[in-house]
Amino acid sequence: MQVISTLLPVALGIVMLGLGLSLTVTDFKRVAVYPRATLVALVCQVLLLPAACFGLILLFDPPPALAVGMMLLAASPGGSTANLFSHLYGGDVALNVTLTAVNSILAVVTLPLVVNFALDYFMAAEGAVGLQFGKSLQVFAIILVPVAIGMLVRWKRPGFADRMTRPVRITSIAVLLLALAAAVLQEVEHVAEYVAEIGALTLVFNVLSLAVGYFAPRLVRIERKQAIATAMEVGIHNATLAIAIALSPTLLDNSRMAVPSLTYGLWMFLTAAGAGYLMRRAIRSGPPSAPTVS
């Protein structure tokens, strides 16, 4: 567990630093360019997904710690991987970057609220303690400090930031894989049991997240490229953040709460690729997209 608790914050810090290296103040200002698309995506991410996840938990009835882990996952923002999938399948990557930036800021407030609700609802009888003010400050530091450092570097040294983006991404993936491998080895005797308990729930939630992210924008006549971007942003959560919060000795310190995010991480690459293929095919074969409604 010591290896995991050391590697995961390092991996997450590098991931968030890499995100910051790719962001500028303009990415936040772009909300004014895509006001309607941004609002729909944020409503899906912040309100609809936690509500849908809660409903699925009541339906599937997993053990309390796994239920809290599911809500933690639902409250986690999209990650930079969403930008990559959006690019691969014809989404509006500029919108993805804006959504990732805004979601990361909002998660500082929304994530502790959702997690504390889940702990109170599912584990109050076990005396679980929520993310109180001091722990919420740690979430703030985990998410925003590396991003702010990365943005500062890009502002002061844009050429250096461009050169570092790829090495930072590769390093973050390598450290993350090491951390996840250590997490799996820590619970290797129970992996099959955990997947059996939560695998179907995480798969359904993953598919539902992608579907909501795509069809909600289309219902309000937002063009398909932006709907693809929203689907990837809403459907690909920052599982690294959720796992780090679950395993951190100073935050939740519960390995079972990390299992939903670990399982979801295995599903989401397959389902995102499948959904991306279908959405890109719809663009090629369907009628012209509706005009962009900003």
Query: Residue 290's pLDDT is what?
Result: 46
Q: Which residue reads 């894989």 in tokens?
A: 177
In a domain, 173, yes or no: yes
Overall residue count recorded for the chain in this entry: 294
Please count the other Cβ atoms lying within 10 Å of the Cβ belonging to residue 165.
16
Give the count of domains, the chain.
Answer: 1
Q: In whole angstroms, give the CA distance from residue 276 to residue 234.
A: 13
Q: Which residues are bridge partners to 237 per DSSP?
A: 78
Q: Which residues are bridge partners to 78 per DSSP?
A: 237
In a domain, 208, yes or no: yes
The token pair at 198 is 């939560």
In a domain, 246, yes or no: yes
Asked if residue 165 lies in contact with residue 21, where contact means CB atoms within 8 angstroms, the answer is yes
3-state secondary structure of 240: helix
Query: Residue 128's pLDDT is what?
Result: 54
Task: Name the percent of the chain in helix, strand, coil, to the closest 5.
Answer: 85, 0, 15
Contacts of 206 (CB under 8 A, 6+ apart): 235, 264, 267, 268, 271
Asked if residue 98 lies in contact with residue 27, where contact means CB atoms within 8 angstroms, the answer is yes
CATH number of 69's domain: 1.20.1530.20
In a domain, 34, yes or no: yes
In a domain, 290, yes or no: no
The token pair at 101 is 């930036």
Q: In whole angstroms, give the CA distance from residue 32 to residue 91.
A: 19
Q: Which residue reads 């567990």 in tokens?
A: 1
Asked if residue 221 lies in contact with residue 289, where contact means CB atoms within 8 angstroms, the answer is no
In a domain, 160, yes or no: yes
Residues of the chain with pLDDT below 50 are 289-294
Query: Residue 293's pLDDT is what?
Result: 46
| 201, burial (CB in 10 Å: exposed 0-12, middle 13-18, buried 19+) | buried
In a domain, 291, yes or no: no
Range of the domain at 73: 2-283
Torsion of CA 132, 55, 37, 39, to 10 degrees: -40
Query: Residue 294's pLDDT is what?
Result: 47
Asked if residue 239 lies in contact with residue 262, where contact means CB atoms within 8 angstroms, the answer is yes
